[in-house]
Amino acid sequence: MQVFRAALKIFFKHPFYIAIFVLAVSLLGVSFSQSVGNYETKQGELAVERPYIGIIDRDNSELSTGLVSFLDEQAELIELEDSRRAMQDALAQDTVYSIVIIPEGFEQNFMRAARENTSPPTIDTATGYASVAAVLVDGLVNEYLNTVRLYVISDTAKNPAEIVVLSFEDMKKSGTITLVQFGELVSPSLKWRSYMSFSGYTIVLSIMVCVGVMLSAFNRVDIRKRNLGAPVSNLSRNLQLALACFVAALVPFVVVSLLGLIIFGSSLVGTSLIVVGLLLLNLLILAVVSLALAFLVGQITTSELMLNAVGNIVGLLFSFLGGIFVAIELLGSTVTKIAYFVPSFYYGDVITRAGNLHDYSSASLAPIFANMGIMLLFAAALFAVALVIGRLRMQSAEAGGNAAATRTRS
């Protein structure tokens, strides 16, 4: 097992990579998941966090004042200076999630458009990275204005002040929400699911860089030539190297998994072990896909700088197309179609389906295992391409293969 030990020795000779790409990025995932808002259940009711929004009222009319009062009931209003710099600072510093800008003359234009049945004027909004909260704010604004528009069209009230009062009273009405648990399964906490989602980026990045560095050492031309003359069969050498790569890939998987279970374990009380096992198995399969990517990149280049660059680029690409950083539904239909050709898309879909799993029926489990199977097919395809590239390199003149022998004879 000399090759196996030598490969792991190379792997553990890069503790900086392990510390940065495994531990540091995992802790970043913990921080990211801790910031995710919770939906808490209290006495059978659903309590939702109130988003922080800024209001710039340039109209100062009855309608705009009514809208501000309504939003004050539904969200936390933050006073902002009416300047571009102040708004940019508020969004960049995460002081507000969204800024609602009511233009001058809005009431007059809105009333005229409603009576003439034409398109109403728009309210400008500026949003930060908390896209879900921004969508909520847009929904609240549209809901209020649609109610006002109905009163104007029906001619129930004669002046804006009366319309605002009636609309505000209507918007106060609400129903009672009762949470019903289907089946006996308890869904994993939102924080742990967010951590597992972010861990997709951690696994892809860490395995591609750490395993790629190990493989690139063995793929150097001088090392490859020396290994060809060693008293170890080609099959034994490749099997030992493959085993070392698998062990090296298990290190990030184990660290990421244990860290998540230790930090978020208390939030998983009551969650089925089968659901937890499905999400961990999903992460392990993504680790296999990442190992295949590392194997492919290791056949192409032996430069550590290039491996770092490719690992970061691929990790970020997989994260965005897989819905890790941004919900895939918010990226548009074109991006969604492209995401089908990326394994991280299926990784994220498993997290969504397993997180909402209510029973163990074949209809519920089939899509989950189908996604895992597709990820394994991606891994097999990447391994096959890497083997072809490796074979061509062995036959090249630079590596001393058949092409070199032909060049020598000539």
pLDDT per residue as tens digits for the range 102-121:
889 988 898 888 888 888 88
Identity (one letter) of the amino acid at 25?
Answer: V
Cα–Cα distance measured from residue 164 to residue 30, given in angstroms and rounded to the nearest whole number: 45
Q: Tell me the C-alpha to C-alpha distance, in Å, between residue 165 and each of 12, 146, 158.
A: 70, 14, 12
Tens digit of each residue's pLDDT (9 = 90 or more) over 153-198: 887 777 888 888 888 788 777 666 665 655 555 567 778 888 888 8
pLDDT for position 279: 92
Q: How many CA atoms lie within 13 A of 59 on its CB side?
A: 24
pLDDT for position 403: 43
* Cβ pair 264, 325 in contact under 8 A: no
pLDDT for position 400: 45
Query: Which structure tokens are listed for 98?
Result: 């969204």
Concatenating the DSSP letter of every residue in 270-327 gives: TB-HHHHHHHHHHHHHHHHHHHHHHHHHHHH---HHHHHHHHHHHHHHHHHHTTSSS-
Query: Which structure tokens are listed for 342?
Result: 């990326």
- What is the distance in angstroms between the CA of the first residue and the CA of the last residue of the chain? 40
Tens digit of each residue's pLDDT (9 = 90 or more) over 314-360: 888 888 887 777 777 667 778 888 888 889 899 989 988 888 877 78
The one-character DSSP state at 127 is E
Query: Which structure tokens are listed for 149?
Result: 């528009």
- Residue 349 φ/ψ, nearest 5 degrees: -65, -35
Cα–Cα distance measured from residue 136 to residue 187, given in angstroms and rounded to the nearest whole number: 24
- Residue 186 φ/ψ, nearest 5 degrees: -105, 125
CA pseudo-torsion sign 130, 135, 138, 143: negative
CATH of domain 45-172: 3.40.1710
pLDDT for position 222: 64
Cα–Cα distance measured from residue 353 to residue 216, given in angstroms and rounded to the nearest whole number: 37
pLDDT for position 129: 60
Query: Which structure tokens are listed for 345?
Result: 């898309």
3-state secondary structure of 398: coil
Q: pTM for this one?
A: 0.65
pLDDT for position 43: 40
List Cβ<8 Å contacts ≥24 apart for 235-238: 236/3, 237/3
Helix, strand and coil content of the chain, in percent to the nearest 5, comes to 70, 5, 25
Cα–Cα distance measured from residue 3 to residue 227, given in angstroms and rounded to the nearest whole number: 10
pLDDT beneath 50: ranges in the chain: 38-45, 397, 399-410
pLDDT for position 229: 59
Q: Which helix (H) or strand (E) holds 40?
A: strand 40-42
Domain ranges for the chain: 2-36+186-409, 45-172
